[in-house]
Amino acid sequence: MTIVLNEPLSQVSLLFVSAAMAFIALALVLFSLQLSKLLGQTPEERAKLSNIEKIGFIVTAVGTVVLGIGVVLRGVAAGRVPWANMYEFSISSALLILLVYLTSLKIKDVRFIATFVTGFVLVTLFAAVSLFYVEVKTLMPALQSYWLVIHVVVAILATSFFAIAAGLHIAYLVKSSNFAKRLMELFPALEQLERLAYRFNVVGFVLWSFTLIAGAIWAERAWHRYWGWDTKEVWTFIIWTLYAGYLHAMATRGWNGKRAAWLGLVAFLAIIFNFTIVNQFFKGLHVYSGL
Amino acid sequence: MASNLFSRLIFWPRWFWRQLTSMRTALFLLLLLAIAAVPGSVYPQRSADPNGVRIFFDNNPDIAEVMDDFQLFDVYTSVWFSSIYILLFVSLVGCVFPRTKVHFEALRTQPVQTPQNLKRMPVFQKAQGQAGYLEAALEVLKSKHYKVAMHQDSVSAEKGYIKETGNLVFHFSLIGVLIAVGVGGGLSFSGQRVLVVGDSFVNNLASYDSFSPGPFFDEAQLEPFSVRLDDFQVLYDLQNPNNLGQPIDFIASVTSEGKSSEVRVNYPLEAPGASIYLTGNGFAPVITVFDGEGNVAFSGPSVFLPQDSNMTSLGVIKVPDALPKQVGIIAFFYPTAEQLESGAYTSIYPDPIDPLMTMNVYSGDLGLDEGVPKNVFALDTENLEVVASRDGPNDPIQLRIGETVELPNQLGKVRFDGLLRFASLDVAYNPGGIWVLLFALLALFSMGLSLMTPRRRIWVRRNKDGTIELAALARSDDPRLEEVLVEIRTVIESKVGSK
Ligand code: HEM
């Protein structure tokens, strides 16, 4: 039962992904304009949702839909879930970050990190399209498992929450260092930034714990042991431990605030490192980067 | 004097214990553990990649020795890595037991006394005094599942004990995970066996090619089942041009205890007391060697190790019984052969479409009688005479299926009888696995519960002048605290008002 691969369709998908990049880039410009405009305003004027910001979010939403189409088409072209190599992982992550961000706007006012989120998504998509693109391929038998679907999709979701928390950590650190004072006045109070970051990290951590467990179950099925300190397993563990450290820091007097923010940021860097450097340069069983 | 000495003697252990079980230490040890795990992903580890370690030693003999002294090739069983996590868990135990005691007491006793100064609480409100306010507050809080206590002129209430319960269960589950990993690992075993199609093996120590038992493993654990490899199929992509030759599926058809079934990657076979996994495959060409006197000196399938993704395979055939001289052969098998410009061959497709075998032939003393175990996949050619090879006196032997070719120097003949496949099977058993999973899921669930439920305290007091004060305090991050107090207040006041 061979899957029929459809590379031309994948090229169409690539077109959608590129179009989404254009939308997200435009949104980034709008959000930056908005920030510079806010700089010259009084607090009362700032409270209102300006037109620029509104358009920015509409453009972001359109970009998200376009990206969504691109990701789905890639899945159709490959005849399976679109998250089995670095290119697919990147575009799916970008999509989920946008979705998580737009959804959380409904729950919390996190408008102020729109520049960070769109900027991060743009970099991710750029790396995907220019560095990681590969033609559609079938999966090697070790990857043909519904655990791939569960394990990886939850990992991506966790990463999305961690990414937004990382943006909040950066805002916290910049603000608390008194750098760019006037700009940072536009951001919420330090305490609120800290709490928001904590919320996102907590959700991310629960999801990451699930990723770790699902990965172990899958490893037991595919490689006869649930844990073997394979390179990717090591890094999943390291990331988990760093975030557990972050949660403890938040509960330890004298360790919340700046230190916890640094810790959260380091943990997120470990995620990026895991995805880029470890995937490509470290040896291990998880050789599916597809590059 | 004596008591002084005594208090001094216990001072240090106590101080040490208090330090060890402090949150700061837990944090420090967690970060240390994360850092200590890094080298194991940078350097090859004996457990996961023994071959990588060997290559590292060959390339950097001097540093490798030193690194080995620091257990950098066995990071996860090293003294230093183990010390960190053992300390962490000692700290965990020391931290969690006292907290469990405190928590049990908190569950049994009433909510804390109303503080003197409610104005200092994070959420504080004043209300009009009305008759029956406190009673209504008591009722409302109770109906919202708060644990309540009526004091002289105030109500105190607390909710969300499940937060601490979840947190404690989480930490206990981690201890469960660690114990299950340790005990399970001790009782576990895994063994590797290569089976050529048509062969069978019985689950006992003698029939494994390699076997790694845990420290508490007992040979009696091996249930005597047998497995026969009936057929082995590899499906390749023949349809998608840029995906040609990618394996789609590996299917080992086996018969075990009279039942036939399949073993595939990701789908192990459950055998009595163990699971059987498919971990590798390759070709086993069937070869017959006739010696110089015309006797059959060797006959049967030999396992060839795949060298690349197009299944160029390498095999060694040792024929110690050949007369007049012992014969050794290093053979290359190309499932779909193509000749390169240099004259050498390569395989361009992994399935046997145009199979070809080439052989380098050696004669002399194979050195098999010295009683030293020899690697069956390597031939030490140093003391052998080269009979045929690309830079030898004769060209390598070339054989297609069914062909027979004379060996030079009257050494005899070889015949390529046919082609079989082999499968590498891992037989593994780890009774801890299911417990690790259960404790891990318990940890996940209780952590979720703990992190998602807020713990709140609420107080309502009637002042001397008849006015009412309401206050709320959260024991952790709780963005809805104020909202919750307002909600409760509204319900209380509608209740009082309707009387
Ligand atoms: C194996 C080592 C440990 C790991 C992996 C770990 C992990 C965690 C995690 C993931 C949480 C947040 C989940 C929850 O609140 O239920 C947490 C919370 C907590 N841990 Fe640990 N922990 C460890 C050891 C310790 C030790 C040794 C202590 C005591 C010194 C400790 C004290 C606490 C406390 C007090 C909290 C609650 C923090 C809060 O209120 O937010 N933990 N731990």
Distance from residue B382's CA to the centre of ligand 1 (Å): 61
Q: Are B212 and A225 in contact (CB under 8 A)?
A: no
Distance CA B271, CA B249 (A): 22
Atom of ligand 1 nearest to the CA of B449: 16
Atom of ligand 1 nearest to the CA of B22: 30
| Cα dihedral A218/B449/A268/A274 (nearest 10) | -10
Verify whether the Cβ–Cβ distance B34 to A238 is below 8 Å: yes
A149 interaction partners in chain B (CB closer than 8 Å) = none
Choose among A97, A91, A93, A95: nearest CA to A136: A91
B268 interaction partners in chain A (CB closer than 8 Å) = 221, 224
Over residues A45-50, mean pLDDT: 69
What pLDDT is attached to residue B15? 72
B493: closest CA of chain A, how far (Å):
28
Q: Is the pLDDT at A284 greater than 60, yes or no?
A: no
- Tokens 């058809």 belong to B253
Nearest Cα residue in chain A from B275: A224
Stretches where chain B sits below pLDDT 70 are 1-13, 369-374, 498-499
Nearest Cα residue in chain B from A5: B240
Verify whether the Cβ–Cβ distance B479 to A198 is below 8 Å: no
A35: closest CA of chain B, how far (Å):
26
Choose among B362, B314, B318, B356: nearest CA to B337: B356
Q: What is the pLDDT of residues A61-86, one digit of tens each?
A: 999 999 999 999 999 888 888 888 88
Choose among A128, A135, A149: nearest CA to A5: A135
First CA to last CA across chain A, in angstroms? Answer: 26
Distance from residue B36's CA to the centre of ligand 1 (Å): 19
Q: What is the pLDDT of residues A189-205, one digit of tens each?
A: 888 899 899 999 999 99
Instruction: Give every CB contact of residue A147 below 8 A, 6+ residues apart in sequence.
Output: A214, A215, A217, A218, A221, B266
Distance CA B483, CA B490 (A): 11
Q: What is the pLDDT of residues B309-360, one digit of tens each?
A: 889 999 999 888 877 888 889 999 999 999 988 888 999 888 898 999 999 9
Distance from residue B25's CA to the centre of ligand 1 (Å): 11
A277 interaction partners in chain B (CB closer than 8 Å) = none
Mutant choice from A2, A9, A273 vs B, greatest count of B C-beta within 10 A: A2
B75 interaction partners in chain A (CB closer than 8 Å) = 229
Distance CA B170, CA B453 (A): 14
Q: What is the pLDDT of residues A206-245, one digit of tens each?
A: 999 999 999 999 888 888 889 888 888 999 999 999 999 9
Burial grade of A98 (CB within 10 A; 0-12, 13-18, 19 or more): buried
Q: Are A259 and A249 in contact (CB under 8 A)?
A: yes
Verify whether the Cβ–Cβ distance A144 to B249 is below 8 Å: yes
What pLDDT is attached to residue A288? 41
Choose among A232, A271, A272, A265: nearest CA to A246: A265
Ramachandran angles phi, psi of B316, nearest 5°: -125, 130
Helices H, strands E: what count in chain B? 10, 24
A241 interaction partners in chain B (CB closer than 8 Å) = 30-31, 33-34, 37
Atom of ligand 1 nearest to the CA of B178: 1
List, chain by chain if needed, residues with CB within 6 Å of any ligand 1 atom: A 244, 247-248, 251; B 21-23, 26, 88-89, 91-92, 95, 166-167, 170-171, 174, 447, 450-451, 476
Instruction: Give the residue whose CA is nearest to atom 2 of ligand 1.
Output: B88
Verify whether the Cβ–Cβ distance A7 to B248 is below 8 Å: no
Structure ipTM: 0.90
Verify whether the Cβ–Cβ distance B275 to A206 is below 8 Å: no
What pLDDT is attached to residue B30? 95
Mutant choice from B181, B265, B424, B452 vs A, greatest count of A C-beta within 10 A: B265
Q: Are B20 and B91 in contact (CB under 8 A)?
A: yes
Q: Looking at the complex, does the CB of residue B31 fall below 8 Å from at least one CB of chain A? A: yes
Q: What is the pLDDT of residues B404-457, one digit of tens each?
A: 999 888 888 999 999 999 999 999 999 999 999 999 999 999 999 998 888 899
Ramachandran angles phi, psi of B457, nearest 5°: -120, 140
Atom of ligand 1 nearest to the CA of B91: 27
A217 interaction partners in chain B (CB closer than 8 Å) = 437
Q: Is the pLDDT at A1 greater than 90, yes or no?
A: no
